Amino acid sequence: MPQLKLSYFDFHGGRGEPVRLALAIGDIAFEDHRFTFPEFAEVRKTAPFGQVPLLEVDGVQVTQCDAILRYAGKLAGLYPTDPYQALLCDEVMYVVEEANVKLGPTFRMTGEEQKQARLALVNGSMPVYLAWLQSQLLAHGGEYFADNRLTIADLKVFVEMRGLNSGRLDHIPVDLVEQVAPALNVHLQRIAQIPAVAAYYAKFGV
């Protein structure tokens, strides 16, 4: 097994969290390098594109969150081997990432500018993404997004819904998911109760 080091912010969310979960579920040993937001200024000096997460594989640095997550999923047995099911898994991951790209710039805003930008998302693209994700989940049986089992697509959606429900995102209603796509909250609870996922969060007391 390669030596792995994952570098990401020290909080339970964002683009690095699904990778942490995949590796934990697969019982894959890795160095979980966490840093604070003020410390990111130093980290980004050596980060391609100034972005995280970063994964070092036997000392070789790799960037791009979905590429890292897919690799972790393959190591952990959480990525479909069937090409069509892999396509469905990727489709969901890319849709979540597209939503994240729209939300991302608002983290650099403050005050009224941030409020108006986030309200525009709440009243615009966010419900569209949420409704589509719910339709995909229900179309594939209502429990998992692909392969009739847990995959990294489920982990990516789980982390995203957990973040939207957390109350940490100013101007985004904590009941947005429940109002638009309640099946995604049912999915969230199901994933949270998976023993390996529950054990992961229990380790951190969250």
H/E element holding 87? helix 83-103
Q: Can you tell me the mean pLDDT for 133-148? A: 98
Q: Count, in order, helices (H) and strands (E) of the chain.
A: 10, 4
Cα 43 from Cα 66, distance rounded (Å) = 20
| pLDDT of 189 above 90 | yes
In this prediction, residues 129-149 reach a mean pLDDT of 98
Picking from 72, 77, 88, the residue whose alpha carbon sits closest to that of residue 147 is 88
As given in the structure block, the two tokens for residue 189 are 């609870």
Give the β-pairing of 54-57 and 4-9. Answer: antiparallel
What is the pLDDT averaged over residues 88-109? Answer: 96
- What is the C-alpha separation between 113 and 118, in angstroms, rounded? 9
CB burial of 141-166 (b: ≥16 within 10 Å; e: otherwise) equals eeebbbbeebbbbbbbbbbbbbbbbe
pLDDT digits (tens, 9 = 90+) for 152-179: 999 999 999 999 999 999 999 999 999 9
CATH numbers and ranges of domains, the chain: 4-78 (3.40.30.10), 83-193 (1.20.1050.10)
Average pLDDT over residues 27-49: 94
- Distance, in Å, from the CA atom of 33 to the CA atom of 158, rounded to the nearest integer, reads 22
The answer to whether 203 and 162 are in contact (CB under 8 A) is no
The rounded distance, in Å, linking the Cα atoms of 153 and 27 is 18
- pLDDT band at residue 1 using 50, 70 and 90 as cut-offs: confident
Residue 204 corresponds to which tokens in the numbers above? 């951190």
**Cα–Cα distance, 191 to 206 (Å, whole number):** 15
Type of residue found at 190? R
Residue 205 pLDDT: 84
How much is the average pLDDT of 116-140? 97
- The 10s digit of each residue's pLDDT in 39-84 is 999 999 999 999 999 999 999 999 999 999 999 999 999 999 999 9
What pLDDT band is residue 206 in, cutting at 50, 70 and 90? confident
34 band by pLDDT with thresholds 50, 70 and 90: very high
Secondary structure class of 173 (helix, strand, coil): coil
